[in-house]
Amino acid sequence: MDVVIEWTYKTPKGATTVLRSEEMPAAQALLLAEDMEKTGRVKLLHCIDRQATSWSLKELKAYLKEIDSEPHDITVYFDGGFDRGTRQAGLGCAIYYEQNGKSYRLRKNAFSLELQSNNEAEYAALYLGLVELELLNVHHLPVRFIGDSQVVINQLSGEWPALEKELASWADKIDAKLAQLAIQPTYQLIARKNNNEADRLATQALNGIDITSTSEIGKK
């Protein structure tokens, strides 16, 4: 979760002003806010998240302690592949997250005969990532979704309208799942060459190779 710090600063002579920081990760905000309070010149300090919810330092500290044992700092890479000749699709997602002070990578792919285009496969791959997040019991957290599909990224971020019925249906399905899990998504478009892990998983699915794995890794 990213937050801004808002506080009232008071000079030794009693002059006051309200100051506001740039957005930063909650853990960083907590460290800075606690250090600021030691000056004795900070009044009415609190943190505000992207949903405009106000957090006291006590509440923020309790929140960070609670999520440390659960998956957090989550990034989902996704990619879908579609073979027009066979009408087969392969879906791939790689999920990076922190838990109990360690870093993990979850890799998952799936094969499908129910999709009609590459754009549908891309949507389905992102949804596959959401299903895996649900299995990890991820909820009420920000999650970054990264892919190389301009259609999916721009439609889900609201930059482009979803005019095709099938794609609009996928967008609605994803929005509903995000709402159910109370996940706050951000979307990032990257070049295809930088999405090779999810692309490889999708290709393996098309080739009949099933992948489901979770491993501890170094910091990504």
Residue with tokens 């999920």: 95
Q: Report which of residues 198 and 29 the model is more confident about.
A: 198
Give the model confidence (pLDDT) of 36-76 as tens digits: 888 888 888 999 987 788 999 999 888 888 777 789 889 99
Sketch out the chain's domains with CATH numbers: 2-68 (no CATH), 72-217 (3.30.420.10)
**What does R_g of the chain's alpha carbons equal in angstroms?**
21
pLDDT score recorded for residue 133:
97
Q: Residue 218 pLDDT more than 90? A: no
Q: Residue 178 pLDDT more than 90? A: yes
Is residue 120 a contact partner of residue 166, using CB atoms and an 8 Å limit?
yes
C-alpha 15/C-alpha 77 separation (Å) is 49
Give the model confidence (pLDDT) of 80-104 as tens digits: 999 999 999 999 999 999 998 899 9
Q: pTM of the predicted model, to two decimals?
A: 0.78
Q: What is the mean pLDDT of residues 186-204?
A: 97
Q: Which of 202, 188, 204 is closest to 121 using CA atoms?
A: 202
